[in-house]
Amino acid sequence: MKWWRCKTPFFRKVTYTEHSRTLFIYNFGCNWACSVCTYRIRDPCSVEKCREISENEIMKLVEEYYLNGKAKTVKFLGGEPLINPNLPTIAEFAMDLGLSVSIGHTNLSLMPPEGVEGVVAGIKAISEDIHREYTGNFTNEEALENFERCYQKGITLKTNTVLVPKFVDVDEVERIAEFIASIDDNIPFHIIGYMPVPNFPWRRPTINELKTAAATAKKHLKNVTWSRPSIEEISYPSKRIL
């Protein structure tokens, strides 16, 4: 079974980065099925290749890394981490130890648990028709409302989107930038060049197209960056520990 159809999400991996003293906890499964999602071209994308890591195993590891002074931050990544029913328990456990907890990748279709300090939200599209085509027919209504709710709660927000020529093009990126600016024009916005997924019709944007998208977003936002990664470059430089 592919990860984006997995109805029973589970944690599949924990990695550690020494320089930021961060534990990264990876969920398997997502409630959306984005056509441009890089998890379609990353390994593993099928449930058979993953081992489920229990809540207790993860909490034991978090405690060990707290006690030996190695960890100060816990970040949850996806698939979509907020659909994992064990996330709130692990997050609370880490917070009770005094660790900072944030969500490193989310579609924000669900709200993060209380106490989460930061969220990196991927905003796919503002136009409802593009959003539905992109995500497998899911509305963006709840996600956009949750974005504002997170802001009102004082959660530190960062955002990104994927520039896909002739799909999520410069005009749509501008709509996303306008939406973010309507909340706060200081919120950082990162534009990622699309990495082609087999069997989908879109192409990778050129550097000039990315520069144009960034210049357009900068009309609305103060902190805009862009990148044109390859699949080799998007892996987190962290060591697997579970």
Q: Is 24 in the site for ligand SF4 (CB under 6 A)?
A: no
Q: What angle do CA 110, 180, 135 make, to 5 degrees?
A: 45
Identify which of residues 61 and 120 has a Cβ nearer to ligand SF4 in the complex: 120
Site for ligand SF4 in 2-21 (CB under 6 A): 4
Judged by CB under 6 A, the residue of 79, 81, 112, 193 near ligand SF4 is 79
Judged by CB under 6 A, the residue of 80, 130, 172, 187 near ligand SF4 is 80
Site string for ligand SF4, 34-53 (x = CB under 6 A): x--x-x--------------
Residue 25 and residue 65: Cα distance in Å, rounded?
13
Size of the site for ligand SF4 (CB under 6 A): 12
222: helix, strand or coil: coil
Please say whether the dihedral angle defined by the alpha carbons of residues 206, 77, 158 and 74, taken in this order, is positive or negative. negative
Identify which of residues 77 and 91 has a Cβ nearer to ligand SF4 in the complex: 77
Find the helix or strand (DSSP H, E) in which 66 lies. helix 55-67
Q: Is 33 in the site for ligand SF4 (CB under 6 A)?
A: yes
Q: Is 78 in the site for ligand SF4 (CB under 6 A)?
A: yes
Site for ligand SF4 in 139-168 (CB under 6 A): none
Identify which of residues 75 and 220 has a Cβ nearer to ligand SF4 in the complex: 75
Q: 168 CB contacts (<8 Å, ≥6 apart)?
A: 36, 124, 125, 130, 134, 161, 162, 194
Residue 20 and residue 102: Cα distance in Å, rounded?
13
CB 123 within 8 A of CB 179: yes
Q: Is 172 in the site for ligand SF4 (CB under 6 A)?
A: no
Q: Is 112 in the site for ligand SF4 (CB under 6 A)?
A: no
Identify which of residues 195 and 217 has a Cβ nearer to ligand SF4 in the complex: 195
Q: Is 86 in the site for ligand SF4 (CB under 6 A)?
A: no
Q: Which of 150, 156, 143 is nearest to 223 (CA)?
A: 156
Give the pair of three-digit tokens for residue 55: 């809540």
Using CB under 6 A as the criterion, which residues of the chain lie in contact with ligand SF4 when the complex forms? 4, 30, 32-34, 37, 39, 78-80, 107, 122
